[in-house]
Amino acid sequence: MSQLLLDVNELTMRFGGLLAVNKVNLSVKHRQIVSIIGPNGAGKTTVFNCLSGFYIPTDGSIMFNGQQLAGLKDFQISRKGLVRTFQHVRLFSKMTVIENMLVAQHRHLNTNLFAGMLKTPSYRRLEKEAMDRAIYWLEEVNLLQHANRAAGNLAYGQQRKLEIARCMSTQPQLLLLDEPAAGLNPNETKELDQLIVRLRDEHEISILLIEHDMGLVMGISDHIYVIAQGTPLADGKPDEVKQNPDVIKAYLGES
Amino acid sequence: MTEASLYLLQQIINGLTIGSTYALIAIGYTMVYGIIGMINFAHGEIYMIGSYVSFIVITGLLAMGSFALPLVLFIALLVAMLIASTYGWTVERVAYRPLRGSNRLIALISAIGMSIFLQNYVALSQGSRDVALAPLISGSVLELGSLETFEVTLSWMQLLIWVVTLVTMTALTLFISRSRMGRACRACAEDLGMTNLLGIDTNRIISLTFVIGAALAAIAGLLLGLYYGVINPFIGFMAGLKAFTAAVLGGIGSIPGAMLGGLILGVTEALTAAYFPSEYKDVVAFGLLVTILLFRPTGILGKPEVEKV
């Protein structure tokens, strides 16, 4: 059990009479890419919303590194090392690329007003570290040359990459990506594919992914969960899931 | 210069003076609106409290004697900013934060309640009559024209208001654009939810905006109190309304907009009072607001609101 990074047990989310998520179990190990797939409206994003503290789940437990997350506030969860992106881009579009990167590291910085006014050595050191980390991740996603542009003026694919870089600058252990390939062209999807694998292999973090691009999902996932209408349908290695008759039925309808 | 143009110049000087103080108060409305989308109707009362505190401190220090006037004013300013900030912080903590996430109307009603409470609280504790302070700063910096025709004067008091406002606004602009807390403020204004998800405790940032707004209102309280020489517990209502108008005029949510809106409103009022019966100045000020809202609902520098998800 101890090597599980994320262990979700019987997660349930009810909105009035609507059962959006019904007893979903999930687990993510260290250095693993895990995907959640399922038809539209299956409750995948609701699961993400529960994990990231956007919703307070009706029932179930969310253990992250052995700590219960259910009931914590969103900023507390992200401080524990679980950060997410959204289906649509949510950058601070009026701020520059580098500012987006720095704001994400706000909590790592010394916000003491007097330290800021006096520019104490520890203040300078933390500031330099934040800047170094920002530059490092911008380089990783190939956006360093755009550092001083307003984030809203970047091309769509670049904005997607900036979102991931911004999450990474908070030094997470688990990254939740909600349809990161949506709206990307085939080349950009391939780059994204490589980036996600690199995050696992080189930066040793785990990724939980919601994605409709089956090529991407099947190619990089270590484990796949399928949910339909809020209920777990199947899970396993990509090949197993692909062959599963229930999954085929859920995606293609009954014949 | 002809008499008419000297007269006009004088009105513009007066208008810019009043306008500067409107701008200082308007910052509090615009920053709070920019981040949590609510109108803090108790903000005018914070300004009034700033006025009272500065009057009390000035009177006390002068009674003790043997202090230089600039020192007295400086201490009064610091104390007023500190106490008004405490009030601003407390009002947010007690009356608004518990209601966050509920209907906007509920927070608005709470704000109006807070405003009435603070007015009456000061009226009960300090008396509801006018409090006057003898002019401390007299004399003029500049006199133009001659006594036979019309003499334009820029008083030391007016110059002080201009300089203090300019310094404050510059400091605020630098804080917002350069400092990391300012960066976090801008992030909150763009997307509060996302800022939270990045691990920033946005409640602290919201408290900070209330504190900054209150401190600026206290500066205006001291300056306008000295300028007029008379205050009472009800001055916050009209001043708050005017500053709110200034904020909307410039584009609510925009800090440069609040500065510009304040100056435009001040000059408009002064010019109206100069060329028409002075009772019309409020009519014109609020008429200007209605006109702007009809033809440019987002204000002069405001951007159309994008629907937040």
For A232, the token pair is: 């777990």
Residue B159 lies in a domain: yes
For B64, the token pair is: 């003790």
- CA nearest A37: which of A157, A253, A217? A217
**Unique residue bearing structure tokens 């607001």:** B289
Residue B150 lies in a domain: no
Q: Which of A72, A73, A74 to mutate to test the interface with B (most CBs of B within 10 A)?
A: A74
Size of interface A-B (CB pairs under 8 A): 72
**Unique residue bearing structure tokens 């980390």:** A133
For A32, the token pair is: 């693993």
pLDDT (0 to 100) of residue A111: 57
Q: Per the structure, how many domains does chain B have?
A: 1
DSSP state of A145: G
**Unique residue bearing structure tokens 């704001």:** A103
For strands A223-228 and A231-236, give the pairing. antiparallel
Within 10 angstroms of residue B69's Cβ, the number of other Cβ atoms is 12
Mean pLDDT of A138-157: 92
pLDDT (0 to 100) of residue B211: 97
Residue B172 lies in a domain: yes
pLDDT (0 to 100) of residue A54: 86
Residue B73 lies in a domain: yes
pLDDT in tens, A67-116: 888 888 888 898 889 999 988 889 999 999 999 999 988 877 655 666 66
Tally: H helices and E strands in chain B? 11, 4
Q: Which of B190, B191, B202, B211 to mutate to test the interface with A (most CBs of A within 10 A)?
A: B190
Q: Is A102's CB within 8 Å of B183's CB?
A: yes
Q: Is B180's CB within 8 Å of A106's CB?
A: yes
Which amino acid, one-letter code, is at A221? S
Residue B300 lies in a domain: no
Distance CA B278, CA A27 (A): 73
Distance CA B292, CA B250 (A): 9
pLDDT (0 to 100) of residue B308: 41
Chain A residues whose CB is inside 8 A of the B190 CB are 92-95
Q: Is B181's CB within 8 Å of A111's CB?
A: yes
Distance CA B132, CA B230 (A): 4
Cβ density class B98-126: b for 16+ within 10 Å, e for less: ebeeeeeeebbebbeebbeebbeebeeeb
Q: What is the mean pLDDT of chain A?
A: 87
Q: Is B199's CB within 8 Å of A52's CB?
A: no
pLDDT for A177 beyond 50? yes
| DSSP state letters, B208-246 | HHHHHHHHHHHHHHHHHHHHH-EE-TTHHHHHHHHHHHH
Question: Among residues of chain A, what percentage have pLDDT more than 90?
Answer: 44
Q: Is B202's CB within 8 Å of A52's CB?
A: no
Q: Give the E-state strand segments of B66-223 in sequence order.
A: 131-132, 140-144, 152-155
Q: What is the pLDDT tens value at each position of chain B, 309 positions in all?
A: 688 888 899 999 999 999 999 999 999 999 999 999 899 999 999 999 999 999 999 999 998 887 788 999 999 999 999 999 999 999 999 999 999 888 889 999 999 999 999 999 999 999 989 999 888 888 888 887 776 777 888 999 999 999 999 999 999 999 999 888 899 999 999 999 899 888 888 999 999 999 999 999 999 999 999 999 999 999 999 999 999 999 999 998 899 999 999 999 999 999 999 999 988 989 998 998 899 889 888 888 877 655 443
Q: Is B187's CB within 8 Å of A102's CB?
A: no
Residue B189 belongs to domain spanning: 3-136+155-295
pLDDT (0 to 100) of residue A38: 87
B17: domain CATH number is 1.10.3470
Q: Which of A90, A94, A100, A137 to mutate to test the interface with B (most CBs of B within 10 A)?
A: A90
pLDDT in tens, A31-73: 999 999 988 888 889 999 999 888 888 989 999 988 888 888 8
Residue B189 lies in a domain: yes
Q: Is A92's CB within 8 Å of B200's CB?
A: no
Enter the ipTM: 0.82
Q: How many angstroms separate the CA of residue B215 from the nearest CA in chain A?
A: 16
Q: In this structure, is the dihedral angle defined by the CA atoms of residues B70, B174, A170 and B98, taken in order, positive or negative?
A: positive
Residue B306 lies in a domain: no
Q: How many angstroms separate the CA of residue A106 from the nearest CA in chain B?
A: 7
Q: Which residues of A touch B (CB under 8 A)?
A: 52, 54, 73-75, 78-79, 83-84, 86, 88, 90, 92-95, 99, 102-104, 106-107, 109, 111, 113, 116, 127, 166, 170
Chain A residues whose CB is inside 8 A of the B194 CB are 86, 90, 92
Residue B104 lies in a domain: yes
Which amino acid, one-letter code, is at B265? L
pLDDT for A1 beyond 60? no
- CA nearest A166: which of B186, B194, B203, B179? B194
For residue A215, what are the contacts with CB-CB under 8 A and spacing of at least 6? A189
Phi, psi (degrees; rounded to nearest 5) at B59? -60, -45
Q: How many angstroms separate the CA of residue A127 from the nearest CA in chain B?
A: 10
pLDDT for A29 beyond 70? yes
Mean pLDDT of A11-21: 89
Q: Which of B191, B197, B205 to mutate to test the interface with A (most CBs of A within 10 A)?
A: B197
Question: Among residues of chain A, what percentage have pLDDT more than 70?
Answer: 94
Distance CA A180, CA A86 (A): 8
Calculate the CA B121 to chain-centre distance.
21
For A149, A155, B62, B300, B304, the CA distances from B307, given in Å and listed in that order, are 23, 21, 54, 20, 9
Distance CA A52, CA B117 (A): 39
- CA nearest A170: which of B200, B186, B191? B200
For B14, B83, B141, B167, B227, the CA distances from B157, given in Å and listed in that order, are 11, 24, 9, 15, 7
